[in-house]
Amino acid sequence: MFESAELGHKIDKATYDQEVPALREALLRAQYELIEKARFPVLILVGGVDGAGKSETVNLLNEWMDPRHIQTHGMGEPTQEELQRPYMWRFWRVLPPKGKIGILFGSWYTQPIVNRVLGSSKAVELDQHMEAVVRFEKMLADEGALILKFWMHLSKPQQLKRLTALEKHQATRWRVTEEDWRRFKMYDKFRKASERALRRTSTAEAPWLVVEGNDPRYRSLTVGKSLLQALRAFLDNKTPPRHPLAPPLAPAIDSLHLLKTLDLSLALPKKTYEKELEKYQGRLNMLTREAGFKNVSVMAVFEGNDAAGKGGAIRRVTGALDARRYQIIPIAAPTEEERAQPYLWRFWRHVPAHGRFVIFDRSWYGRVLVERVEGYCSEYDWMRAYAEIVDFEEQLAHNGAVLAKFWLSISKEEQLKRFQEREQIAFKQFKLTEEDWRNREKWEAYEAAVCDMVERTSTRYAPWSLVEANDKYYARVKILKTLCEQIERAL
């Protein structure tokens, strides 16, 4: 992987001085075209050997292009806030929007490689992390991102010479630390772990470019030209179209599906409901006060047919909680800011810290429900979303999140009855829109989408709970009881 970056590549000063002006002009033109079109973001990862020119490369890109439209992030040790969330949370927060360039000095590769070198993880754990990285980067690429990954390399003798030279001169001595020398002593281990990581993550969507860092002029021209070539390819629409890899699940030939197996006649008398409501609200409240709750978080997802009672169910849940501990996130059509990012970005930003409770009134499942049925995204996009959502939820669960996902199901007749009631009651009329009536015309398409969703995303750590919601009393109690049981298992 590193052999070609140890050949002694060099560029003479005359050639460098001749090529740089035209290259800088072309990079600036491409950057302004990127800003104007705002069709895709550019994500540049800079990693590699200490002393190989990583910081110089980051500074150079900011010098050669307009730094006002470049977001540069030095990803050092995670903060306490970041440690409360899944590992990838801190990187989702700094993804550049469409039309912008983001540079990550240090990335999701850094800690796994360091952990392997220091012996705090096994080779198989590094491999598993790299597999997750490949899926993440493929998702970014499928969302339209241009991903460029530069690994600045030095051979062991070159690194020794570089560190010694930097330390020798007073102006650059500060750049060499005791940590740099400790890592130099582990050069062979770092090389082995880095090569293992790079081989497993150099993909068609996000290939690694290993750059010999010994000669600054060679390094600078290589990075600049590679960036320009990739930018021009994307701006000129030279990227291949993407297509579905597999068809969606075929409907059962006897028309039987999950939703049809629900007994929508299930109901509770009002007196029973009031007793059960008090019982499970009290139980939920006590669970959030237990000492172990500070080590978990809760993410409750509410999806369902229009008028299925999501709002009422959510109010019964929050009625049991301390208002300082929870947040309700209502999900509507994405804003301009959200459309400039991958679709999961707006949900990652609301991932709670430990000891917190977040309720989503509709969620990331819009990609495989309304966006699928209404044609707001391509078949390829909603097909790939199943695996991306499972990945997302696995990261949340691994970090201690309790994922409670509820689908509230009502019959088509019950929905019509509730729509008509809303038309007659003044303070409920705002809940009924023309879109609600249009959605009824696609009832069967939504049923098929829901069944596919449950089939492909109900997992051991994030199961779907199908709630018979024709009777609101029964639905609310079932939701509270299920929520309590899931939190109890986590505690």
Residues of the chain below pLDDT 50 = none
Looking at residue 166, its pLDDT comes to 83
In degrees, rounded to 5, the angle at the alpha carbon of residue 44 between the alpha carbons of residues 62 and 95 is: 100
Cβ-contact 486, 301 below 8 angstroms: no
Per-residue pLDDT at 179: 83
pLDDT of residue 435: 74
Instruction: Select 258-490's CATH number: 3.40.50.1580, 3.40.50.300, 2.130.10.10, 3.40.50.150.
Output: 3.40.50.300
* pLDDT in the model for residue 237: 82
pTM score of the predicted model: 0.89
User: In the chain, where are the structural domains located?
Assistant: 3-235, 258-490
Phi, psi values for residue 406, rounded to 5°: -120, 130
Tell me what pLDDT residue 171 has: 80
What is the model's pLDDT at position 258?
85
Q: What pLDDT does 212 receive? A: 93
pLDDT for the residue 427? 62
CATH code for residues 3-235: 3.40.50.300
pLDDT of residue 311: 94
